[in-house]
Structure 1
Amino acid sequence: MENEADQFYRQLPKVELHAHLNGSVSFQTMEKLISRKPHLNIEHSMTAIRSGQRRTLDECFQVFKVIHQLVDTEEDILMVAKDVIREFAADGVKYLELRSTPREEKNTGLTRRRYVETVIKAIHQCKNEGVDIDVRFLVAVDRRNGTEVAMETVKLAEDFMLSSDGLVVGLDLSGDPTVPSQLEESDLLLNLPPDRIGHGTFLHPEVGGSQSLVDKVVKNNIPLELCLTSNVKGQTVSCYSQHHFQYWYQLGHPSVICTDDKGVFCTDLSQEYQLAASTFGLSREAIWKLSQQAIDCTFAPESLKQQLKQRWMELQPQVFQ
């Protein structure tokens, strides 16, 4: 890791609610994928954005195209998903909601349905192997892929929400946000309203949003998934001290610290918590509370939320010792 988070943040039990499967692939897993497909001539510098580097949003999406070339079979997806789950668990994450757009790869015979089934299989295998983490899955609709694919993906999500024994818990809208009009799309979606908002970088009047969007978020008490390093490296926020985490946190609005793409942005959730603490002067007690409150923002059933809260209570003494 670039700057190891200290022990408190590593031991802190954490909830991760905004993690894209392919963007979470670590350096070590990337090595395995690259060695399997030498003919692609892919180097690490094409799949990760290191410390101090920044890329435009468009360049960030180019990185994903490269990763997608490396992950195009059921075997790849199974390995990647299991590695990602194990790494989150090793970083002290106790509950994880992974998200990914089901992809179809004609040349390998991969279908969207098999894609989702393989991620679910990885979740089951990790559980059976005793990996200490509860994992759920969000099926993602990529806004760049058009209405037909979107409808097919929604149908898939619906099917799996009924048949996956509670592992598929929701639907995510992702992909390049500059494709539609951000103001129009934000307004349209907030009128639904959604159960959570990813990033929220376009909500404020000063970043192309409007006060009425902010008011809708507050009125409906919609939790925000905030990804500091991703926003700064992807240039949707100018610098850490200007991150909108501060705005929502001071409002007392439910906000969850997340990684977005821990592999691409070379981070992990412990580092993101430590970054928030050092940037905004948060005490360890405040960080603990942030982590604990994230449980209420999950799409987990009430019974699991209660189990997680119990787990946090049990772990608190050793984290603060």
Structure 2
Amino acid sequence: MDKDERVFYRDLPKVELHAHLNGSVSFQTMEKLIKRKPHLNIEHHMTAIDKTQRRTMGECFQVFKVIHQLVDTEEDLLMVATDVIKEFAADGVKYLELRSTPREMKTGLTKKGYVDTVIKAIQQCKEEEVDIDVRFLVAIDRRNGTKVAMETVKLAEEFMLSTDGLVVGLDLSGDPNVGHGRDLLPALQKAKNSGLKLSLHLSEVPSQLEESELLLNLPPDRIGHGTFLHPDVGGSHSLVDKVVKNKIPLELCLTSNVIGQTVPSYAQHHFKYWYQLGHPCVICTDDKGVFSTDLSWEYKMVASTFGLGRQAMWTMSRQAINCIFATDDVKRRLEQKWTQLQPCVLK
């Protein structure tokens, strides 16, 4: 990006709806974590993948195992969550929905303590008047099966009621080659019935057509990736029809998909298919630390790859407000912020 582009995309107010906490840890924060734990012999190249590199999905998931070794105390988690929030704010993100799977740590932190710590980081940033509104999605890791999924939903329900709107939903994620969504349907339905919003990773790999049909019947409130939903890449008109009929927004993460090799290139990304349909799409980072990116870069890549001007990118960022899981009051406040910033950004 030239300087003018960098300034525009940084100043463009943005909404980030698909950001995994542990995958969003920056180089700078990693440096602090690595210095704290020299005995682990972890180096930077083990925690991030350069944009010029390509990895299998399995190799991408291996990176998270390394990061979890570094983030294994309450103190680590608080620092990571606080740094991630402030970095998104510095990149012009005005509304952020973080997501993470609650983990028990050998140092004694419980799953409840894990979520408590993330909430504490959100509240600290608010007290410091960091210019960003943050919400949290509790994540179900599909690898952990039905029983753990039910426990995770119960935890999310408790925090939804006790955090004054900070916990707004549930994420379904994890290695898409493991397990089947049918085993998680009771937990997801329970979450939906309790008032939690659902963001589900769907059709990340070609083998998930049957699962996608089942999960779309819920239906979810947003879709993560949706790479293989449409018929041009082996999906089906039936899947597309369900997504369009229910107006389910897609969270699209271009660099993540290109590096992870689920799409061949930026130009062949499924953003184009859904954008041409006029369907709601939100540009996201997925794992800004692991994939060495930020939201400004993702917006710029969409614009340059698909020939979209600044007005189109402004419209896309503003329309993302309609897709957030927070209340209508929050949406109205964000709309006002965009209106105030428009003359300065689109000058």
Confirm or deny a common fold (TM above 0.5).
yes
Q: Which residue of structure 2 aligns with residue 151 of structure 1?
A: 150
Runs (4+) of structure 1 moved beyond 3 Å? 1-5
**The residue matched to 2:99 in structure 1 has which SS?**
strand
| Preserved contact between residue 200 and residue 224 of structure 1 (Cα < 8 Å) | yes
Q: Which residue of structure 1 aligns with residue 296 of structure 2?
A: 270
CA distance in 1: counterparts of 2:113 and 2:159, whole angstroms: 11
CA distance in 1: counterparts of 2:303 and 2:3, whole angstroms: 14
| Preserved contact between residue 2 and residue 266 of structure 1 (Cα < 8 Å) | no
Under a length normalisation based on structure 2, what TM-score does the superposition of the two structures give?
0.90
2:326 is the counterpart of 1:300: yes
Aligned residues: 320
Mapping for residues 223-238 of structure 1, pairs under 5 Å: 223-238=249-264
Q: Which residue of structure 2 aligns with residue 139 of structure 1?
A: 138
CA distance in 1: counterparts of 2:2 and 2:209, whole angstroms: 36
CA distance in 1: counterparts of 2:235 and 2:176, whole angstroms: 13
Unaligned stretches of 5+ residues in structure 1: none
Q: Which residue of structure 1 aligns with residue 242 of structure 2?
A: 216
Q: Encode CA deviations 1:26-54: one digit per residue, 9 max, x unaligned.
A: 00000000111111111110110102101
**The residue matched to 1:84 in structure 2 has which SS?**
helix
Q: Which residue of structure 2 aligns with residue 34 of structure 1?
A: 34
Letter in 1 for 2:265: C
**The residue matched to 1:95 in structure 2 has which SS?**
strand
Deviation of 1:202 after TM superposition, in Å, equals 2.2
CA distance in 2: counterparts of 1:59 and 1:126, whole angstroms: 33
Q: Encode CA deviations 1:177-200: one digit per residue, 9 max, x unaligned.
A: 122451122111100000000011
Letter in 2 for 1:260: D
Mapping for residues 42-53 of structure 1, pairs under 5 Å: 42-53=42-53
Under a length normalisation based on structure 1, what TM-score does the superposition of the two structures give?
0.97
| Preserved contact between residue 99 and residue 138 of structure 1 (Cα < 8 Å) | yes
Q: Which residue of structure 1 aligns with residue 68 of structure 2?
A: 68
2:273 is the counterpart of 1:247: yes
Letter in 1 for 2:342: Q
Unaligned stretches of 5+ residues in structure 2: 181-206
Mapping for residues 1-321 of structure 1, pairs under 5 Å: 6-105=6-105, 107-179=106-178, 180=180, 182-321=208-347
Letter in 1 for 2:37: K
Letter in 2 for 1:119: V
Letter in 2 for 1:318: C
Deviation of 1:3 after TM superposition, in Å, equals 10
Counting aligned pairs with the same residue, the percent is 79
Letter in 2 for 1:117: D
**The residue matched to 1:242 in structure 2 has which SS?**
coil
| Preserved contact between residue 51 and residue 255 of structure 2 (Cα < 8 Å) | no
| Preserved contact between residue 194 and residue 222 of structure 1 (Cα < 8 Å) | yes
Q: Encode CA deviations 1:64-110: one digit per residue, 9 max, x unaligned.
A: 111011111111110000000000000000000000000112x2111
Q: Encode CA deviations 1:192-235: one digit per residue, 9 max, x unaligned.
A: 00000001112123434222111100111100000000000011
| Preserved contact between residue 5 and residue 271 of structure 1 (Cα < 8 Å) | no
**The residue matched to 1:61 in structure 2 has which SS?**
helix
Deviation of 1:5 after TM superposition, in Å, equals 5.4
CA distance in 1: counterparts of 2:20 and 2:2, whole angstroms: 21
CA distance in 2: counterparts of 1:185 and 1:68, whole angstroms: 29
CA RMSD of superposed structures (Å): 1.5
CA distance in 2: counterparts of 1:104 and 1:34, whole angstroms: 21
| Preserved contact between residue 5 and residue 270 of structure 1 (Cα < 8 Å) | no
